[in-house]
Amino acid sequence: MVSLIFLGACNIIYSQSAVSGIIYSDDNGNGVRDTEEKGIPRVSVTDGVHVVQTDRKGHYELPVSEDMIIAVIKPSGFSLPVNANNLPQFYYIHKPMGSPTLKFEGVKPTGSLPESVDFGLKPAEEKDEFTTLIFGDPQPYTREELAYFEAGVVAEVEGIQDVIFGLSLGDLVGNDLELFEPYIGVMKKAGIPWFNLMGNHDMNFDAETDNLSDETYESHFGPANYAYNYGKVHFIVLDDILYPDPRDQKGYWGGFRPDQLQFIEEDLKYVSKDHLIVLAFHIPLSEPEGDSFRDKDREKLFRLLKDFPHTLSLSAHTHIQRQDYMDASSGWLRKEPHHHFNVGTTSGDWYSGLLNDQGIPVSTMRDGTPKGYVFMKFRGNQYEFDYKVAGEPEAYQIKVFAPKVIEQGRRSKSGLYANFFVGREGDKVSYRVDGGNWQDMDYVVAPDPSFVATNLERDTSEILLPGRRASDAIDCKHLWRGELPFKLSIGTHKIEIRAVDMFGKEHHAVTEYRIAKSKI
């Protein structure tokens, strides 16, 4: 499939040093610039490096290269057209010779530029309060796994109401780029405009340079670096994968090329300082446990953001969930720390684990976070979010681990644990037993014992259990521990957990344990 999104062009010309066109108000939404439809002033347009704004008549001009994608940066108050698959149409690909020969086909030759590359935007009422959907790593390696994704996740949001658009945070597929087309067909069912970004498993691995590693991605989804506005939020979507790794020309590394940083710098020149800047990419900006991101690129990005008091960044990639708050030690240049949300994935632990009642792998992630997705809610330049566990009620936000039975009068060393999926160090998590006084739980960094127990169940089973063994547990960064009272009466006792998230919302969970008399 070749994505050549061209809205209103005429008279091919064969040699020029600039590309120009009109961004116009497509008042009737027919995709054609009618005589009475006027150009829109002060709209940003980019070639992925330079960013210019339209003049008072909606006219723009950019320099020409032989490998470029012209894209409009949607302004607030206008909507982008979408194609039959609900993919936003905001770009025009110019590759006269097409993509180089690669294992997976890229862009076919586009020929010479049209005389005018125009984009129509339909006027739309945009409220400052709106909700979006965020998916991390669908990452199916096979058609079977794509079916798990469809039935276990997409079916839950099919035809969803009151959600403006969705965004997948990379690893749309797992190395087999022929799965892009069926992935698009699955995501169409959500019924809302769906943006995408590139992950390390969406690349052309046979590309010799980083700027050519997205050729097949471009042919299906358009530019790997782009931006758009909605309400008082400015979204910047980026490919943050350096491939091949510049350190040894093997594998990949997180970071940005100079042209990408130039794009961000030029884009932000036209964004109001009181707007929220939301950056979305695949690899997290920093992982304390490793060297996954080039420090100098993160520091350059933070310098570009230093004058913007409202920022948020989103990533996936790790197949865990974590809230990071970056300060001066990470190169952040403002007093208030920068919030980076490393979002849990829709594929969970790569479609592993026991099968549920639908025959779909449970696929809990290595830190004990169940697979799921995020409802990101914006109000002006403020935000909050809810994590939705796939296949569970919205209220399921805490996984509780407690011993089933303990001996009366003898302390249990196993403890009570609460895995608060959106939690972070400093959140208040407390518990009480049988309606007694609330007690604070202690924040701990340790493997989730519930997840450890599921792997032990498989490892010690004398029969072959369905599904594939999950990955080994890693330390969870949203885990709390408490001590269970052991001097209570013999019988069953109720445990209540209460957690308050970073936005002040309360979440609850309930379980029980039994106290029994020793038989010794």
Nearest Cα to 199, choosing from 101, 363, 305, 314? 314
For residue 412, the model assigns a pLDDT of 84
Q: Please say if the pLDDT value at position 404 is more than 50.
A: yes
Q: Is 509 helix (H, G, I), strand (E, B) or coil?
A: strand
For residue 10, the model assigns a pLDDT of 41
Amino acid (one-letter) located at 338: H
Q: Is 482 helix (H, G, I), strand (E, B) or coil?
A: strand
d(CA 320, CA 421): 10
Q: pLDDT > 70: what percent of the chain?
A: 96
Nearest Cα to 441, choosing from 497, 511, 515? 497
Q: How far is the CA of 154 from the CAs of 27, 143, 327, 391, in angstroms? A: 33, 15, 36, 11
For residue 12, the model assigns a pLDDT of 44
Given a contact cutoff of 8 angstroms between Cβ atoms, the answer to whether 245 and 352 are in contact is no
In tens, the pLDDT along 43-63 reads 999 999 999 999 999 999 999
For residue 15, the model assigns a pLDDT of 55
Q: What is the crossing angle of helices 258-268 and 295-305, to 10°?
A: 10
| Confidence band of 7 (pLDDT split at 50, 70, 90) | very low
Q: CA-based diameter of the chain, in Å?
A: 94
DSSP 362: -
In tens, the pLDDT along 309-321 reads 999 999 999 999 9
d(CA 63, CA 113): 12
pLDDT mean across residues, the chain: 95
Given a contact cutoff of 8 angstroms between Cβ atoms, the answer to whether 101 and 14 are in contact is no
| Confidence band of 131 (pLDDT split at 50, 70, 90) | very high
Given a contact cutoff of 8 angstroms between Cβ atoms, the answer to whether 374 and 133 are in contact is yes
Q: Taking the CA of residue 379 as centre, how many other CA atoms within 13 Å lie in the half-sphere pointing to its CB?
A: 4
Bond prior to 244 in cis (omega within 30° of 0): yes
In tens, the pLDDT along 383-396 reads 999 999 999 999 99
**Sequence-distant (≥ 6) Cβ neighbours of residue 330 within 8 angstroms:** 285, 286, 298, 302, 338
| Residue-wise burial string across 344-371, b where 16 or more C-beta atoms lie within 10 A, e elsewhere | bbbbbbbbbbbeeeeebbbbbbbbbbbb
Given a contact cutoff of 8 angstroms between Cβ atoms, the answer to whether 163 and 127 are in contact is no
The mean-pLDDT minimum among 6-20, 107-121, 198-212, 415-429 falls in 6-20
Q: Please say if the pLDDT value at position 174 is more than 60.
A: yes
Place of tokens 């209540």: 496
Given a contact cutoff of 8 angstroms between Cβ atoms, the answer to whether 385 and 357 are in contact is no
With the C-alpha atoms ordered 371, 225, 105, 13, is the resulting torsion angle positive or negative? positive
Q: Please say if the pLDDT value at position 2 is more than 90.
A: no
Mean pLDDT across 450-464? 96
Residue 466: count of CB within 10 angstroms of its CB: 9
Q: pLDDT > 90: what percent of the chain?
A: 94
| Confidence band of 458 (pLDDT split at 50, 70, 90) | very high
For residue 165, the model assigns a pLDDT of 98
Instruction: Look up the CATH number of domain 398-516.
Output: 2.60.40.10
Mean pLDDT across 67-77? 98
C-alpha distance across the termini of the chain, in Å = 72
In tens, the pLDDT along 343-379 reads 999 999 999 999 999 999 999 999 999 999 999 999 9
With the C-alpha atoms ordered 187, 192, 195, 199, is the resulting torsion angle positive or negative? negative
Given a contact cutoff of 8 angstroms between Cβ atoms, the answer to whether 24 and 204 are in contact is no
For residue 153, the model assigns a pLDDT of 98
Amino acid (one-letter) located at 16: Q
Given a contact cutoff of 8 angstroms between Cβ atoms, the answer to whether 132 and 156 are in contact is no
The CA angle 426-307-55, to the nearest 5 degrees, is 135
Q: Which residue has the higher pLDDT, 96 or 411?
A: 96
| Residue-wise burial string across 61-86, b where 16 or more C-beta atoms lie within 10 A, e elsewhere | ebebeebbbbbbbbbeebbbbbeeeb
Q: Please say if the pLDDT value at position 307 is more than 60.
A: yes
Given a contact cutoff of 8 angstroms between Cβ atoms, the answer to whether 194 and 346 are in contact is no
Nearest Cα to 406, choosing from 415, 398, 393? 415
Name the β-bridge partners of 254.
Answer: 241, 293
In tens, the pLDDT along 405-455 reads 999 998 888 899 999 999 999 999 999 999 999 999 999 999 999 999 999
pTM of the model: 0.95
